[in-house]
Amino acid sequence: MELLLAELPETLKHYTGKPVPKWMRVMHPDAAASLVQLEKDTGGLSYTDIWRSAEVSLAARASKQGVQPPGFSGHNYGFSVDLDIDGILKAKKWTYAQLTAVMENHGWYCHRRDGQYGKSECWHFNYFGPLPERFLKAIDPKKASTWSAGVEKRIVEVYGEDFELKPTTIQYSLKQLKMYVGAVDGQMGPITTAAIKAFQRAWGLTPDGQAGPKTQRTLAFVAATKKIV
């Protein structure tokens, strides 16, 4: 799997007042183009989180509740940003509704679909682009459990096929990660099972040695190469 990413300008402001760290400053090319326009139109916002690597997702999950595991967050694919909401509202003298309107005008939709300021994820925005309806349709604003369905739909539209790994691809990916030393022959023998278990332990999955859909998706993401355009 190849992650398609574009670099974001160095001028992006981090909530700490410093520039956004370089490792965080990449995004899916469509979303990146929109963010550059958003920065131009607003005079610049302030960000707490942009791109998240597999390692950062794993660490965030260990320290914070509700963080998606590696390979399952919009941040991993460059479709999501977390805004420094309090800082932005203060600096711009905007209401929260004004901020969400500005974001939506640029194709960015708050993860929370009930417009509540101050509650969990009110800072998280997903890029659905100029035709957001098909993503928004997957969400019931009244049911928090469906709020992630929009960005998940977007991720699966772009990368879904890459999440289904053939046995040889599983072995090859584990080999790339230096977790498998056997032959890439598609034979899921004891060496492969042990390697899958080791991978599952390292990435917070149930270590059952079976490469089910969740393990395949995590492996596809962890072993993905990045193409910066």
Shortest distance, position 68 Cβ to Zn ion, whole Å: 9
Shortest distance, position 49 Cβ to Zn ion, whole Å: 6
Question: Contact 48/84 with Cβ under 8 angstroms?
Answer: yes
- What's the first-to-final CA gap in the chain, in angstroms? 16
User: For Zn ion, which residue has the nearest CB?
Assistant: 124
Judged by CB under 5 A, does residue 39 bind Zn ion?
no
Q: What is the pairing mode between strands 13-14 and 46-49?
A: parallel
* Residue 13 CA neighbour count, 13 Å, CB half: 17
Residue 113 vs 124, nearer CB to Zn ion: 124
Distance of CA 182 to the CA centre of its chain: 32
Shortest distance, position 83 Cβ to Zn ion, whole Å: 9
Return the DSSP state at 99: H
CA distance 40 to 21: 20
Residue 74 vs 129, nearer CB to Zn ion: 74
Judged by CB under 5 A, does residue 82 bind Zn ion?
yes
137-196 positions binding Zn ion, by CB under 5 A: none
Cβ atoms within 10 Å of 51's Cβ, excluding its own: 25
> Binding Zn ion by CB under 5 A: which of 25, 28, 113, 124?
124
Which one of the spans 4-12, 31-39, 124-132, 216-224 is the region binding Zn ion (CB under 5 A)?
124-132
Judged by CB under 5 A, does residue 52 bind Zn ion?
no
Question: Both tokens of residue 226?
Answer: 């990045």
Residue 82 vs 104, nearer CB to Zn ion: 82
Residue 6 vs 151, nearer CB to Zn ion: 151
CA distance 66 to 199: 22
Shortest distance, position 153 Cβ to Zn ion, whole Å: 17
Question: Contact 27/51 with Cβ under 8 angstroms?
Answer: yes
Shortest distance, position 161 Cβ to Zn ion, whole Å: 25
Enumerate binding residues for Zn ion (CB under 5 A).
82, 124
